[in-house]
Structures are given as C-alpha cells and as structure tokens.
Amino acid sequence: MTTKWFVGVDLGGTTIKLAFIDPYGDIVYKGEVPTNTTNGGGEITTDIAKWIDQSLEHLGQTKDQLHSIGMGAPGFINMETGYIYHAVNIGWKDFHLKDRLEMDTGLPVIVDNDANIAALGEMWRGAGDGAKNLLCVTLGTGVGGGIIANGNILHGVNGMAGEIGHITAVPEGGYQCNCGKTGCLETISSATGIARIAKEFINKYPHSLLASEYAKDGHMTAKLVISCADKKDQCALKVIEDVTYHLGFALANLANALNPEKIVIGGGVSKAGQTLLQPLERAFQKFALPRVFEGASIVTATLGNDAGVIGGAWLAKSQK
C-alpha cells in the first residue's frame, strides 16, 4: 500500500468522531469515543492519540501509514494557529489545540470550525458534488453555516464568517435569539424555532392534526410538524411555509452576493426532504436574481454524521 491515510476528527459536546480516510475520500476505518470534559477538556487530545494508536494496531498498521490530522472543533478558533479562545461545551479556554494534538500524536494537525469542516465534507464527497462555490446550512437545535468560495472556506477577519444562523430574518419585532439580537434566522429555521412557531400556529388551527397530536403529550417538535406536513395537515404546511419563506429570503440574499452553485441543507430538519425543499425553492426563487437562481441548486446533505471526519480529511489533504 503506497497511499497514506488522513485522520479526520470531529469533536462534539458528547462524542469525538474519528476516521482514517484515504486520499480519495473513502473511509477506511472509523469509530468514536466519548468527549471527556473533565479537567477543562485536558484529556481530549490524549484520547484522540490513544484511539489512533489502538486503531492502527487493530488494523496491523504503523503510524507511517498516516499523513496528517484534520480536525473540526466547536467554539472560537484561530484557524492559523489552531488556538481555541473559548469552547463552552468542551471546557476549553485559551487552549493550544493544534500544538497539544501534534505533541500527543506526532502528526501534523490542522484545525477549523466544526460547521466549516462539515461543509468541506459535503463539497468533497457529499451533496456538494465537487462544487467549489457552496453554502452549507445546518438546521439542528441551532442554525450553523459554512461558506466555500473558490474551494476555500471563508473565515473573515476574526473567524466569524459563515454565521448564517444570525442573519436577521425578521427586522422588527422578531423573537429573542441567544446571540443577543432579535429575529435571527436561528429563531425561525432551527428545530427549536420550528417548534416555537408551530405552537403559535395551532391557536389559529385548533382542529388540525398538528394541534391534536400536540394535545396528546404537550410536546411540540420539528419532527412532529414535518410528519403532520407529510400527511398534508394545513396547519403544519403553514408552519413549513412560514419557516421556508424566511430561510429562502436569507439564502437568496446571500446567494445574490455569493452566486453559489450548491446550497446544501443539513441537520435534523433536513430529513423533511421535499416537504422542506419545495417551498424553500419557491421562496428562494422569489428573492434571487434570475441568473443566480439558475446557477444554484438546493439539495439536502448526504453524508450525515460522516461529513465532519471527511471534511477534516479534506482539510488535511488540501494542506499538502
């Protein structure tokens, strides 16, 4: 075997996903370990190094088989130095992630934001299908984003680029967002936002399927809204219409400035598929320049939980 592998690492608040990935983006071997947040997150780089050593042994390989590590992490990161200013969920504050991981593993390391490496993964081997101008939006508990232009992740002047979730969707009278502003896209198009809006809409549609399902246990979720919308419940469809109107407005305005080839929608909410994509595309078309609309296709993410490790491997590979 002559081609070396890259190690993709995707650090989350509860688990670390890891994989050996060949230069063509295929996963050779993967696993995960729990995120140890004790001791200010000080054990994490050692846990990664141990997984690498144990996995190599299991595969009958040596460290010579590995080229380098590409890692995605949450929080505020200096991408050039691999220094973490602050990662609340992990416990890191002023943490030399790149230097520590290089010492523990003996391999070169490159670090980026978790939303950004997911976008790189989708670009390389997922729904992006090699498109070098791509927006990736993750609709989960919050709304995350990664922007790729000319094949490179945009970071901006202090690492904040890609904060698509905090584009203002409702200029006046919007809902309070965790970021301190009001009316952010995240307050509308996240799973949390969808559930909140649904609770408002069932007052207008008390006899809807969504209202009666909600009455059963008093628990509203984006999943329930989507399942009712799939059954053509008018109330649930109105909720999706409202959510995609604002998402389409924000994405079209971004697309008018960036002219992307692909807009990749990921995260739990994207499992709604066409129920989400069809009204989203209508709203997007309404607000996008005709040539921008023609140039862009909106697709759902395809790599799921593997996007991060594959994007990490791409990051490492593209540093060569």
Provide the minimum distance between the beta carbon of 128 and a second copy in the complex, in angstroms, as a whole number: 12
Least distance to a second copy, CB of residue 150, Å: 7
For residue 178, what are the contacts with CB-CB under 8 A and spacing of at least 6?
Answer: 142, 186
Of 143, 258, 265, 315, the one binding a second copy (CB under 8 A) is 258
318 binding a second copy? (CB under 8 A): no
Task: Name the β-bridge partners of 89.
Answer: none
Q: CB of residue 245 vs a second copy: minimum separation in angstroms?
A: 8
Q: Rounded CA gap, 70 and 193, in Å?
A: 32
Helices (H), the chain: 44-59, 97-105, 114-125, 186-189, 191-204, 209-217, 222-230, 234-258, 274-287, 290-295, 307-318
Size of the site for a second copy (CB under 8 A): 44
Q: Report the residue from 98, 125, 166, 238 that binds a second copy according to the rule CB under 8 A.
A: 166
**Considering beta carbons, is residue 33 or 154 the nearer one to a second copy?**
154
Nearest approach, Cβ of residue 221 and a second copy (Å): 27
Helices (H), 84-208: 97-105, 114-125, 186-189, 191-204
- C-alpha distance from residue 310 to each of 67, 234, 245, 260, 318 (Å): 14, 39, 32, 21, 12
Among 64, 207, 257, 320, the residue binding a second copy under the rule CB under 8 A is 257
Q: Counting Cβ atoms within 10 Å, is residue 311 exposed (0-12), middle (13-18) or buried (19+)?
A: buried
Q: Which of 37, 61, 227, 256 binds a second copy (CB under 8 A)?
A: 256
Q: Which residue has the tokens 């922007």?
A: 147
Q: Is 180 in the site for a second copy (CB under 8 A)?
A: yes
The single residue among 37, 212, 227, 253 that binds a second copy, judged by CB under 8 A, is 253
User: Given candidates 14, 39, 158, 203, which one binds a second copy under the rule CB under 8 A?
Assistant: 158
* Of 281 and 306, CB closest to a second copy: 281
DSSP class of 142: S
Q: Does 164 bind a second copy (CB under 8 A)?
A: yes
Binding part of the chain for a second copy, among 8-16, 149-157, 205-213, 299-307 by CB under 8 A, reads 149-157
Residue 66 makes contact with a second copy by CB under 8 A: no
For a second copy, the closer CB: 184 or 197: 184
As measured in angstroms, the least distance from the Cβ of 18 to a second copy is 29
Which CB sits closer to a second copy, 59 or 160? 160
**179 near 189, Cβ under 8 Å?**
no
- 179 contributes a contact to a second copy by CB under 8 A: yes
Q: Which CB atom, from 100 or from 246, has the smaller least distance to a second copy?
A: 246
**Of residues 104-143, which lie at the interface with a second copy (CB under 8 A)?**
131, 133
Question: Which residues, other chains included, contact 290 with Cβ-Cβ below 8 Å and sequence gap of 6+?
Answer: none
Q: Which distant-in-sequence residues (6+ apart) come within 8 Å of 143 by Cβ?
A: 137, 164, 165, 184, 185, 186, 189, 190, 193, 267
Which is nearest to 71 in space by CA: 47, 54, 94? 47
SS3 238: helix
Interface ranges with a second copy (CB under 8 A): 131, 133, 145, 147, 149-150, 152, 154-164, 166-168, 171, 179-181, 249-250, 252-254, 256-261, 287, 289-292, 294-296
